[in-house]
Amino acid sequence: LRVAQMDDIGSYSNPIAIGALGALGPVAKEALPELEKLLKAAQPWNRDFFYSAISKIGGEDAFRILVNGLLNKEVDTTTKTFIILYLNDVGVKAEQIINILKRMVKEDSREIRIAAYVALSSDGFFKYPGIDQIVFGGLDDPDSLVKYNVINFLGSKGKKAAFALPKLRQIVADPKT
């Protein structure tokens, strides 16, 4: 599959064509450099299609592109929250993704912190040592919406999150939370 042949299915700015590249998965790996280049010029409302396709193509290069998007101050918060959720699809070692998510729970944006806690609370990551404590740390977040979401995530874990009961009782008893 050559990148030059991609023009046959439409413009790279066309979300359908971008989605088709993602649907091809790893066989479209050759398209990653061109997608990365075009992503920089993409309109903000199209970036999500690029990041989704890039994550489905997967691999180390795709992971690098996604991380660069997360760290790029010019990428909007909504797109960054989608990038966080796409990290699960990229197919790299969980430890690499977890390290990025640990950084994201410290971001200024509540939406980014919530997305990072969502990702860390997924069954794919929650099983790793120490992740439960990172998610538990979200109960101390100063933003009540982040705290609310973390409570829901922990509640969805059932007995696996029993360690959080004392802190949850404390939150319930505090009228300021």
Print pLDDT tens along the chain (177 aa).
444 444 444 454 577 888 889 999 999 999 999 999 888 877 777 888 899 999 999 999 999 999 999 999 989 999 999 999 999 888 888 888 999 999 999 999 999 999 999 999 888 888 889 999 999 999 999 999 999 999 999 988 888 888 888 888 888 888 776
* Residue whose token pair is 């993409």: 42
d(CA 168, CA 162): 10
pTM: predicted TM-score of the whole model, two decimal places:
0.81
Q: At what angle do helices 44-57 and 60-71 cross, to 10 degrees?
A: 150
d(CA 35, CA 23): 14
Residues in the chain: 177
Contacts of 56 (CB under 8 A, 6+ apart): 22, 23, 25, 89
> Three-state DSSP class for 61?
helix
* Residue whose token pair is 């023009």: 7
94 contacts 126 by C-beta, under 8 angstroms? no
